[in-house]
Chains A and B, each alone.
Chain A
Amino acid sequence: MPIVHQGVVVDNKKIGSYYVITATAADMPKEFKPGNFVAVAIGDERSSLILRRAFSIYQVNDRGVYGGTVDIVVSPHGPGTDYLANLKRNDPINLVGPLGKPFSLPKNPVPCVLVGGGYGAAPLFTLAEALAKRNCRVDFILGASSSEKLFGMLEARRLSTTLTVTTDDGSSGQMGKVTDVLPEVINKSNAAVVYACGPMKMLEAVSKVATLHGIVSQTSVEESMACGIGVCMTCVLPVIGEDGVTRMLRSCVDGPNFRGDKVRWSEVGTVPVDTYGAPKIGDH
């Protein structure tokens, strides 16, 4: 069960372009599964920014000096994330979590490729550990626009058989996109599953490559949310259900981890005409 926790910042470290915030989180780590996220309040109970921001859980520690803690990775790009980036040790921070459906893990010890775009890589490291426990081979691909936007290189190397890095400007690893190298990594590792977290365009491209190779992809989507707990209905996207019917599903409670081949990527931001309950002409 998720909880509301009024915690404090234990640490805030700048890593490349990002800030890694460690916050006390009571019993959240005990409930945590890879792929879960937390919804973080911006400011105190008088703040004029009332909507929480959702962050993948990067690390958890269930018995540190401060009791349970969670780590999140913040990329400052607006008033809310700027506020979080400026938090200091011992500042109060309010978290709701763990939230969302976790990644599905394979039943058998099959090879898996983990693809992270920028700080989107955050939830993939606890996933890699969980996969290793199931004796799955793990190959990592990390990509970003440039080297300072890569995240988790050292851990990715430690947790994987191979690590491949791409940057748009060639400042680190191979110049290009993660999907330029993905087919080769899939072939060499004989992967059965691709996990991906990053920008929506990257997820769409990764999902296509996985489908072309006849393997399953799990994508962790990023849609803007107001609540994170399933009540506001703002974070929806068109997803095909097991019955073949497309519905506008909430990425906070029905996701954020969806099978890549079930998301109608090119129609995200629209309501496809065959969606369950879609407007008829003149309606809505």
Chain B
Amino acid sequence: MKRFPKRSSIDMSIDFMNQKLPSPIFTASGCAAAGKELDQFIDITSIGAVVTKSVMLQPRSGRATPRMAETPSGMLNGIGLQGPGIDDFIEKDLAWLNQKGAKTIVSIAGNSVEEYGKIAEKLRDISGVIGIEVNISCPNVENRGLVFACDPNSATEVIHSVKRNSSSSVPIFAKLSPDVTDIAHIAKAVVNAGADGLSVINTLLGMVIDTKTLRPKLSGKTGGLSGPAIRPVAVRCVYQIRQALPKVPIIGMGGIRTGNDALEFFAAGANAISVGTMVFNDPEACVRIHDEVCELLNEKSFRSINDVINAAHKEQI
């Protein structure tokens, strides 16, 4: 039995870049594949949007195993962006999502500025795509493998390239890395470059050593840390960016496990949130969290999710 959101008097719908969405709860890229598997557990059209796993220009095998290590209240992953490549993705995954009537935000990743542009071009005029999330936490092969998201110039170039090549009606979200000194600085740079919104945050770079072998546990040595362990970092990043950029739409994410966790992000300034790693623990998490947010708002006598967005920035009454 698929889980649907419970009926509630709370208005959970949001106006999201000229789209009316039934819920501010999205999946997070890399934690929901392309929606099909999760649709066995929840009705994926009932959530705000499916954010698909980052797709690259070419098919990609990903890294060798081990790709994962469990950590306190979290996990470290180094999948290496395994995926079918953009053509196959459009033909199969996106076609399936469209046929279901899901709202899709396509996450894209590239090895170079040009590659990001090419993928964006392929997604032009494809129906059902309500946004492009640009995963800039990839190493730039043309710049000594430096991660795009950690350098304002590289991040800017990527966003320019995606913006230039994609349809003007599809909003572009830059997904930011918390592994920087001043995330608001990077946020401003990508918004100036044309990003319509921001996804905050990507995983934190981490490492686990296997003490049996005294070597890094992941085949890629380092990996991305996710899960509830990173939540306070994520809330802080959303808050700082909201302070710096009062108007820009933010999708908040990082270790959201419950409705109460989600509420922290909305109050910090997120207009929508993505549920990532916790989907591995609870395949119904997106719908459950939607219901839990409704209950909390009800308890606090709010009528709409919009009543709590940015609340942490308002002066105490």
> Which one, B33, B62, B77, contacts A271 given CB within 8 A?
B62
Q: Does B284 contact A (CB under 8 A)?
A: yes
Q: How large is the interface on A (under 10, 10 to 19, 20 to 34, 35 or more residues)?
A: 35 or more
Q: Is the CB of A229 within 8 A of B37?
A: yes
User: Which of A4, A237, A275, A276 is packed against the most chain B CB atoms within 10 Å?
Assistant: A4
Convert B13-44 into 0s and 1s, putting 1 for each residue whose CB lies closer than 8 angstroms to a CB of A: 00000000000000000111100011011000
Q: Is the CB of A50 within 8 A of B62?
A: no
State which residues 72-87 of B face A: CB under 8 Å: 72-75, 77, 79-80, 82-83, 85
Inside 8 A of A247's CB, which chain B residues have their CB?
A: 61
A29 → chain B closest CB, angstroms: 16
Q: Does A51 contact B (CB under 8 A)?
A: yes
Given A50-B281, A236-B82, residue A277 in contact with residue B74 (CB < 8 A): no
DSSP class of A's interface residues: helix, strand, loop or mixed? loop
- What is the count of residue pairs linking A and B with beta-carbon distances less than 8 angstroms? 123
State which residues 259-284 of A face B: CB under 8 Å: 268-271, 275-279, 282-284
Inside 8 A of B68's CB, which chain A residues have their CB?
A: 51, 224, 226, 232, 234
State which residues 275-310 of B face A: CB under 8 Å: 277-284
Q: Does A52 contact B (CB under 8 A)?
A: yes
Q: Is the CB of B60 within 8 A of A51?
A: no
Inside 8 A of B66's CB, which chain A residues have their CB?
A: 224, 234, 269
B182 → chain A closest CB, angstroms: 29
Q: Is the CB of A279 within 8 A of B61?
A: yes
Inside 8 A of B62's CB, which chain A residues have their CB?
A: 233, 236, 248, 271, 277
Given A50-B281, A96-B283, A229-B283, residue A269 in contact with residue B82 (CB < 8 A): no
> Which one, B32, B61, B80, contacts A231 given CB within 8 A?
B32
Inside 8 A of B209's CB, which chain A residues have their CB?
A: none
Q: Is the CB of A51 within 8 A of B40?
A: no
B257 → chain A closest CB, angstroms: 8
In the complex, 8 of the A-B residue pairs with CB atoms within 8 angstroms, ordered by the A residue number, are: A2-B41, A50-B70, A224-B65, A234-B66, A236-B65, A269-B64, A271-B62, A277-B83
Inside 8 A of A248's CB, which chain B residues have their CB?
A: 61-62, 82
B198 → chain A closest CB, angstroms: 24
Q: Does A41 contact B (CB under 8 A)?
A: yes
Q: Does A187 contact B (CB under 8 A)?
A: no
Inside 8 A of A282's CB, which chain B residues have their CB?
A: 141
DSSP class of B's interface residues: helix, strand, loop or mixed? loop
Convert B44-67 into 0s and 1s, putting 1 for each residue whose CB lies closer than 8 angstroms to a CB of A: 000000000100001111111111
Q: Does B227 contact A (CB under 8 A)?
A: yes
State which residues 191-236 of A face B: CB under 8 Å: 223-224, 226-227, 229-236
Q: Is the CB of B40 within 8 A of A226?
A: no
Inside 8 A of B38's CB, which chain A residues have their CB?
A: 229, 231
Q: Does B1 contact A (CB under 8 A)?
A: yes
Q: Is the CB of A3 within 8 A of B1?
A: yes
Q: Is the CB of A51 within 8 A of B280?
A: yes
Q: Does B171 contact A (CB under 8 A)?
A: no
> Which one, B59, B72, B80, B280, contacts A232 given CB within 8 A?
B280
Q: Is the CB of B41 within 8 A of A4?
A: yes
Q: Cα distance A270–B37 when bound, in Å?
A: 26
Inside 8 A of A49's CB, which chain B residues have their CB?
A: 70
- Apart from A4-B3, A269-B65, what are 16 other A-B pairs with CB-CB below 8 Å? A1-B40, A4-B282, A4-B283, A48-B73, A50-B70, A50-B74, A50-B228, A224-B68, A226-B68, A226-B75, A227-B279, A233-B53, A233-B62, A233-B82, A271-B62, A277-B59
